[in-house]
Amino acid sequence: MIKKSLLTVLTIAFMTSCVSPKIYKDLEAKYENLKKENRKLSDENELLNSAKNAAENELKQLKSAYEEAVAQRDKLQADYSALKANYEALNNSYDALEKNSSAAIAANSQKNRELLAQLEAKEQALAAENARLEKIKRELEERSNRVAELENVIAAKDAAMSALKNALSRALTDFEGKGLTVEQRNGKVYVSMENKLLFESGSWAVGSEGRRAVMQLGSVLGDNPDIAVLIEGHTDNVPYQGSGPLTGNWDLSTKRATAIVDILRENNHINPENLTAAGRGEHAPIATNDTPEGRAKNRRIEVILTPKLDELTRLLKDN
């Protein structure tokens, strides 16, 4: 849907010769990069959750198998002890009967042979069960270690994102109550800036106060090189009525996102490869468009910060 809409806008723009084709090729390339990054993050997140769930299920199954094996071992041990006691009783009886009756001795000897055979079978079964139990125990420990390692990495990522969120909150404290919020959700940090802080109506030029906020944001991002930064531009659903090079809300949201990227790129400590600009137009509102207040909230820039999952990917491949 996004690609279709973007291609439609590009086609109209090209036919009307209002905008240079190079601009739209750049936008389309950025859009493709965004799709690839989004797909990569979604796949990695799904792979991580699937691996964790599979490991936890395997751990649960191994625990159940371990408990069954312990019960079986205990039962075999009890059977073995009972048979051994019976054997010893019969052996004592054999000694007594040996003096009295050759027929009784023969019958007792047969029982002794049967009991010895049963004892040998039980000993073999007990040894096999102990070996199986030991194998399950080793596998259980390995699975437990793997789950623990994955959980530690996830916890470290969450802690790092919490620290990043706190650092951003401190750096942007001057802009509280001016349309800027910092939140942590689903392992990511979201910095939302309403357009009233950044742009004039219908413009993608960043004002002095908005530029100061973006520079403060960049100072924190420069200290966190392992963070992927997605800048999304959003508008309300009121159709763009201006003139000039813009073709509509989607175009405006893309140019505004790109303007934020341009300011962040002035910070030499931020790797440009970590930056992605995207326009969402009016298609991802966070409030109703039926009221002025809701439309004001929907006109915004969202900076979405995501930890890179290279370490988790390595763990999954190694296991």
Neighbour count for residue 86 (Cβ, 10 Å): 14
Q: Name residues whose C-beta falls within 8 Å of residue 138's C-beta, 6 or more positions apart in sequence.
A: none
Residues 75 and 35 in one domain: no
Tokens of 120: 């040998």
CA angle 41/45/48 to nearest 5° reads 140
Q: With contact defined as beta carbons under 8 Å apart, do 253 and 280 qualify? A: yes
Range of the structural domain that residue 186 is part of: 2-50+163-318
Residues 311 and 168 in one domain: yes
Task: Write down which residue in 118, 133, 160 finishes a domain.
Answer: 160
Residues 201 and 310 in one domain: yes
Instruction: Indicate which CATH number applies to the domain containing 191.
Output: 3.30.1330.60
Residues 169 and 284 in one domain: yes
Task: Write down which residue in 160, 188, 213 finishes a domain.
Answer: 160
Kindly report whether the global pTM for this prediction surpasses the value 0.75: no
DSSP 198-226: HB-TT--PBPHHHHHHHHHHHHHHTT-TT
C-alpha count within 13 angstroms, C-beta hemisphere, residue 146: 22
The residue type found at 277 is A
Per-residue pLDDT of the chain (319 residues; tens, 9 = 90+): 444 444 454 455 444 555 577 887 877 787 777 678 778 777 777 777 787 888 888 888 888 888 888 888 888 888 888 878 888 888 777 777 666 766 666 777 888 888 888 888 888 888 888 888 888 877 777 777 777 777 777 777 778 788 888 988 898 888 888 889 999 988 899 999 999 999 888 889 999 999 999 999 999 999 988 899 999 999 999 988 776 788 899 999 999 999 999 999 999 999 999 999 999 999 999 999 999 999 999 999 999 999 876 555 555 555 5
275-304 exposure pattern, b = at least 16 Cβ within 10 A, e = fewer:
bbbbbbbbeebeeeeeeeeebebbbbbbbb
